[in-house]
Structure 1
Amino acid sequence: SVETLLASLFLPMLVGGLALRAPNATGTAAAYNNFLPFMVGPANHTRLDELTWLNTTPAVVFGIALGVWAFRLVLPFNAAAERWRIRTKLVKDLRRLCACGTAFNTTSWMARSGNRLAQIIRHAGQHPDATTEAYLAGAMGLMTVGLLALRLHYVLAGNSIRPDQQALLRTVLNTIAHSRGYTLQPAHVATHALQTLLPMALQEKNLSVHLELTRAISSLEVMRKELESNATFLDTTRRFRITHKANTLGL
């Protein structure tokens, strides 16, 4: 009868409903709640014989088991490789942003970088290790550099500063866009531009130009520090390893 069927399914479905509210078991619980009614077959009055049921339900169970073992043995998830792919995407996005000011705007850059951060956090689990913390620090550093690069693009687009001053900013952006491997050259170029523009800003009499130079100088001040501290993170030619110095800096 229907009452007997409901009584027998009460506890299994109750367990599935409670599991849906557990953050660590949401995916498994969703599959459980979807496949359990199919395998039980509540509309048992439509079944012609037991052979049909045996040809469907065990096939589903064995198919799920085969899929699980295939991904565990043949295509296992590698957290380190996934972090490397995310870091490569972050660096490529930053280079593209520096090379072309119209590649991103502030909203799209924040959304894209935030998505990368969410991926790192999602794969970290409940207890992230020091490597994951370092990846988060590096990703946030690159997100900051990207926002500052956008500000430099806006300064250049305003066309308020002199051509030689614009050339300094373009050199910084081009260096970031074309740097490969481990190098401190972007940080050094940003430092040189900062030291060159600072006296010019102090001597500038035009208020609007002075404000644009101040905006560029403040961006370069933060950018050079982020580029120097994240030089290892920017090197996508090798895996990101935490050094003792990075640990002391809180990375």
Structure 2
Amino acid sequence: MSRDIWDPSTYHRYADERSRPFRELVGRIRADQPDYVVDAGCGTGELTMELARRWPDATVEGFDSSPAMIGKARELGGRFTVADVTLWRPERPVDVLVSNAVLQWVPTHRDLLEHWVDLLAPGGWLAFQVPGNFDAPSHRAIREVCRSERWSDRLGDVDRTSPVDEPLDYLEQLAGLGCRVDAWETTYTQVLQGEDAVLGWVSGTALRPILDRLDPADHDAFRADLKVLLDRAYPVKQYGTAFPFRRIFVVGQK
């Protein structure tokens, strides 16, 4: 893309909810004393630093394609670089390679997974999680607005039907590459607080590439049209806004 579409402050609005799947993913990695740990698509780096605290004797580094995210990450003092996940190449075999909510943005990620397995040291670990909610009301609403008369001339070709596979598909792929695989799914029934909570959530993720295609002057109008559908799909209750979110997890050991 022509410019950096990621906004660290918007993404961090629901940092606690976004970090939970990462911790549950990493909790299934049984690496004892890894020497080299990489966080692929590290965002603002806070979760990368959790890897550094878990394995204090390892070299831990994170990379992300967003200069804004890496700029924020470098404030933490760790090892962070700007790199594209499809082009990144380590200087030595990797003992633990983690990718948290990144591969859904990579159409060729099935080929990338095969490449990443090749990059692992013997006995190394590959762990990733991706959203599995592309048929959820939030994403159906986004597609509906994109195809509406008002926006179809600019966004009618947007296709965010599921870009990821099912847990069994990933298990079969990595097992076929010689890995021992643990694959599962979890639906988190999150309770979001605040006004326009679901709109705020998708503004930090799913909407970023869509808004990047529009003039900034049109952003508020698009969000207003989407808000109508989201309010209907996710009514605010006394306790907050319930927002079910399905995630797919895969951990493989070479």
Q: Which has the higher contact order (CA 8 A, sep 6+)?
A: 2
Q: Give the TM-score, by structure 1 length.
A: 0.23
The structure that is strand-richer by fraction is 2
The structure that is helix-richer by fraction is 1
Which of the pair has more CA radius of gyration?
1
Q: Give the TM-score, by structure 2 length.
A: 0.23
